[in-house]
Chains A and B, each alone.
Chain A
């Protein structure tokens, strides 16, 4: 808090009196060292569970009770070999493929439908836009548990339970208001000059949207795509409700299979699958962290 301004205040003093000149940079260096040490310690604590998960995948199953530390005593890749075979006759790659299919469809649906809705909310003046925009914001805060029961009943009537439709269809209908809102905020920051010029030249909304707005909102679309992918990949409740056949399980549900049947005897397999399930997200995160962090920051501030 105070440390934020300490260096500046001292520099002001320095110009008036030459004496503390040597002390000022020294104190700044000490503050910086404390800063690095404190944050590094915090980082280690925060990331410890992830290190632990990764290194534990190399522990033989028997080691779990005795060695709670980070480093395996007798490192082995047996866990991975065993796990890759799959469970209950379904190979592991199948669960990965299921997750990937659902997530990719969700990304395509989310981006397409959210960008269309966001353009309407941000750039088209029409009757009822204010009311509908408020309704969209309202769904941001709505606990989704109030709609899962009727949605389940509906998909059940349509005989779509145990298909991927209930997981994918809502994404094509822009039901996640977070993304619509994120893109609306982004479009509002784009100067109107260009699309107004295009409109004067006779371009309709479709033309304006596809040739002017869409290329300009690429960063918002990428942010939405990454979040959409990660959230769908992690989703637990959706597949828990709608997917019953083991060969159709996405990873989070398949993981439970490993966890339920083997939790007492085979920790090694459980941690190995947990890590593999997390791996795509961690890679995504490392590659796109700037987008993700900035996306959250701007979305939050303008709310």
Chain B
């Protein structure tokens, strides 16, 4: 490790390093400071200790509701999305010929899902007398519009997330392709049925990919913003049911000018994400099986 190498290393890394220090690490430290202040952009930040956090958990029912609906969205939406991704990846893995077309078609929504256009389409499709409502009424189900309905707007948001199953599906499919066929053949010789083969071969061999997808999709789900914002026209309605964590954070920070409070909210999110990542990494040792390991 010569000095010349070190100099070359930092030369190549300069743009990233400026970005990391100036646009990530520096802002993180400043936002940690702001989390303990009252700040509205016009007066100097005023140190208030833990007040923001205390207010969040004891004196802000809107915050508690936004936490609740975000948790429902993450805890219900992510498993459904991953199950759909895995199921369809297994279906695609059945044969290679013709699978490429389906693989690409299923991936398309993941790419455009967060766009404003899609949010607008989604709102139109689930509105009163929209296509979804009309198809359901053919089966005698009359729900009325989903968008303005307090109990249906969450299922609608979850469907939008599940619709984007393509990204984890592509990763699952790549993982499935790596499972040696001999393992299935050996299981068959031992008399394993389809369910047994799935449980004893597919799941363990895929565990590192499941871990990766679970981590990534959970963290992404916590950060849903554009679609919720557009679908509710920025209001978080009906009755706060689309007031997701980041939507509320944005509203507190920018239109309301409560930058200290919003920073405190952001740090709670960072801590929650860090805890989830930590727990997943810790428990992964007991359920994630890496190739080459004999266990």
Residues of B within 8 Å of A256, CB to CB, are: 116, 230
Q: Which residue of B lies closest to A31 (CB)?
A: B94
* Given A68-B134, A145-B249, A296-B107, CB of A119 within 8 Å of CB of B266: no
Partner among A114, A153, A296 whose Cβ is within 8 Å of the Cβ of B41: A153
Q: How many A-B residue pairs have CB under 8 A?
A: 295
Known: A145-B266, A301-B175. A47 touches B9 (CB 8 A): no
Report how many residues on chain B are interfacial, defined by Cβ distance under 8 Å.
Answer: 105
Task: List the B side residues contacting A259 at CB < 8 Å.
Answer: 116, 120, 230, 233
- Which residues does chain B contribute within 8 Å of A148, judged by CB atoms? 253, 266
Q: Does the CB pair A145–B91 fall under 8 Å?
A: no
Q: Of the candidates B18, B125, B213, B273, which one forms a contact with A52 in the assembled complex, judged by CB atoms under 8 Å apart?
A: B125
Q: Knowing A127-B6, A234-B114, A292-B107 touch, does A300 contact B170 (C-beta < 8 A)? A: yes
CA distance A204 to B90 in the complex (A): 48
A277 and B116 form a contact (CB under 8 A): yes
A148 to B114, CA, bound (A): 18
Q: Considering the complex of A and B, which 8 residue pairs feature the smallest CB-CB distances, nearest first? A: A173-B19, A2-B194, A126-B9, A300-B171, A150-B27, A120-B12, A117-B16, A297-B174
Instruction: Check: A77 CB closer than 8 A to any chain B CB.
Output: no
Give, as a whole number of angstroms, the nearest-CB distance from B212 to chain A: 5
> In the complex the two chains form, is A278's CB within 8 Å of B117's CB?
yes
A142–B276 Cα gap in the complex (Å)?
12
Q: Which residues of B contact A271 (CB under 8 A)?
A: 120-121, 124
What chain A residues lie within 8 Å of B216 (beta carbons)? 300
Contacts of B111 in A (CB 8 A): 230, 281, 285, 292
Contact B94 A53 (CB under 8 A): no
Q: Which residues of B contact A (CB under 8 A)?
A: 1, 5-6, 8-20, 22-28, 30-31, 34, 41, 88, 90-95, 98, 102-109, 111-112, 114-118, 120-122, 124-125, 129-131, 133-134, 163, 167, 170-171, 173-175, 178, 181, 184-185, 188, 193-195, 197-198, 202, 209, 212-213, 215-216, 219, 222-223, 225-226, 229-230, 233, 246, 249-250, 253-254, 259, 262-263, 266-267, 269-270, 273, 277
Q: Are A205 and B8 in contact (CB under 8 A)?
A: yes
Asked if B112 and A234 sit within 8 Å, CB to CB, the answer is: yes
Task: Let me know if A126 and B16 touch, CB within 8 A.
Answer: no
Report whether B41 and A156 are in contact in the complex, using a CB–CB cutoff of 8 Å: yes
A69→B131 CA distance, assembly (Å)? 6
| Docked CA distance A256–B28 (Å) | 30
Q: Are B173 and A297 in contact (CB under 8 A)?
A: yes
Instruction: Determine the chain B residues whose CB is within 8 A of the CB of A49 once the complex forms.
Output: 109, 118, 121-122, 125, 163
Determine if A174 is an interface residue (Cβ-Cβ < 8 Å): yes
Asked if A136 lies at the interface with its beta carbon under 8 angstroms from chain B, I say yes
Grouping DSSP codes into helix (H, G, I), strand (E, B) and loop, the A interface class, with mixed when no group exceeds half, is helix
**Chain B residues, CB < 8 A from A206:** 8
* Stretch from A37-45, A83-91, A100-108, A215-223 contacting the other chain: A37-45
Contacts of A119 in B (CB 8 A): 12
Supposing A52-B121, A150-B34, A296-B171 touch, asked if A170 and B94 sit within 8 A by C-beta, the answer is no
Is A5 an interface position by the 8 A CB rule?
yes
New A-B contacts (19) at CB < 8 Å, excluding given A42-B102, A271-B121:
A1-B194, A3-B194, A5-B181, A43-B106, A46-B108, A46-B109, A49-B109, A142-B273, A150-B28, A170-B23, A172-B15, A234-B112, A236-B225, A270-B124, A271-B120, A274-B120, A277-B117, A289-B104, A293-B103
Interface residues on A, range: 35 or more
* A296-B12 Cα distance, complex, nearest whole Å: 26
Closest-CB distance, A4 to chain B (whole angstroms): 6
Contact present for A5 and B223 (CB under 8 Å): no
- CA distance in complex: A152, B178 (Å): 45
B209 & A300 in contact (Cβ 8 Å cutoff): yes
- Ordered by A's residue number, 15 sampled pairs between the chains whose C-beta atoms are within 8 Å are A3-B94, A4-B93, A43-B105, A126-B6, A141-B215, A144-B223, A149-B266, A150-B31, A230-B111, A237-B225, A255-B120, A263-B233, A270-B124, A274-B121, A300-B212
